[in-house]
Copies of this chain bind each other. A is one copy, B any other.
Amino acid sequence: MDFLFKRMAIVGLGLIGGSLARIAREKRIAEQIVGLGRSRETLELALAAGSIDEYSLDLKQGSGNADIVVIATPVGVVVDAVREIAGSLKPGTIITDVGSVKKKIVEEVESFLPSHLYFVGAHPIAGTENSGFQASFAQLFQGARCVFTPTERTNAPAAAKVKELWEQAGCDVILMEAEKHDRIFAAVSHLPHLIAYSLVNTVIDAEEKEGGLVNFSAGGFKDFTRIAASHPVMWRDIFFMNKENILPLIDHFTKVLEELKSYIVQEDSEQLTAVLDKSRRFRRKIN
């Protein structure tokens, strides 16, 4: 089988970028894979693992001859990275990203990208609480969904090739408007992470007062600590870039919690049980 790409550049060899490099090598998706980033240490790791053929600390130079550049950095620097490399890419180069926020990235990139370069916004829904190339593995995307957020400006053949990339990596690809993507992920991912961070910090404060709490985290708390161990810079960027959707959800969450609190204060059995029951029934829809 022919390679899908002759030369693929990946900017950022963390959990997502590293796993993509691994599967691209394993499945022979790209003939040459070049790693780009700021950490020589990470790039050396990827080289030693055989996941990339070469690397560069210079984004421009390293992406110059690529057919496709995958930006796998925290969302806060995706647009800057595209801006940096755009001038030195050859016509027809596809640029894509993996970010958990889509609208701002797609809008900003489309606002300045020359028409001979093709941007396709994408978000593979995969990850673990671990980060860095050390945590990457080729099977990360197996069975995962990958959301595509094409616009009317998106080049169809370019989008088809990015779709093929993620399908070969193991994903089911789904099309969605960027705005809808951002609303959905604010609810099912961004808010839950923010809540987990808040809860873990609450327990850290309680631990400082009481001591010994950590030994009993099996009672429900442990799941939250896993979520709240996710990459801080990645999540800071997501919270900032999708705040338009996250902030109203925080307010709604606070309202729900205040309601539950009032049922507890008043020992309103009927109302409280109704809310707990509703959560339980919802679980069945998820599985």
A212-261 interface with B by 8 A CB criterion: 212-230, 232-233, 235-236, 239-240, 243, 246-247, 249-250, 252-254, 256-258, 260-261
What is the CB-to-nearest-CB distance from A33 to chain B, in angstroms, rounded to a whole number?
27
Assess A216 versus B185: contact at CB under 8 Å? Given A221-B192, A243-B265, A267-B240: yes
In whole angstroms, how far apart are the Cα atoms of A184 and B159 in the complex?
A: 52
B200 engages A282 (CB within 8 Å): yes
In the complex, whether A198 has a CB less than 8 A from a CB of chain B is yes
In the complex, whether A264 has a CB less than 8 A from a CB of chain B is yes
Q: Count residues on chain A whose CB falls below 8 Å from chain B CBs.
A: 85
* Overall SS of chain A's interface: helix
Across-interface contacts of A210 in B (CB, < 8 A): 180, 183-184, 187
What is the CB-to-nearest-CB distance from A198 to chain B, in angstroms, rounded to a whole number?
4
A-B contacts, 14 of them at CB < 8 A, read A125-B216, A183-B210, A184-B216, A187-B221, A189-B221, A193-B220, A194-B260, A195-B224, A196-B279, A204-B278, A217-B286, A223-B226, A232-B280, A240-B269
Give residues in A with beta carbon < 8 Å to B. 100, 125, 129, 144-145, 147, 180, 183-185, 187-189, 191-207, 210, 212-230, 232-233, 235-236, 239-240, 243, 246-247, 249-250, 252-254, 256-258, 260-261, 264-265, 267, 269, 272-273, 275-280, 282-283, 285-286
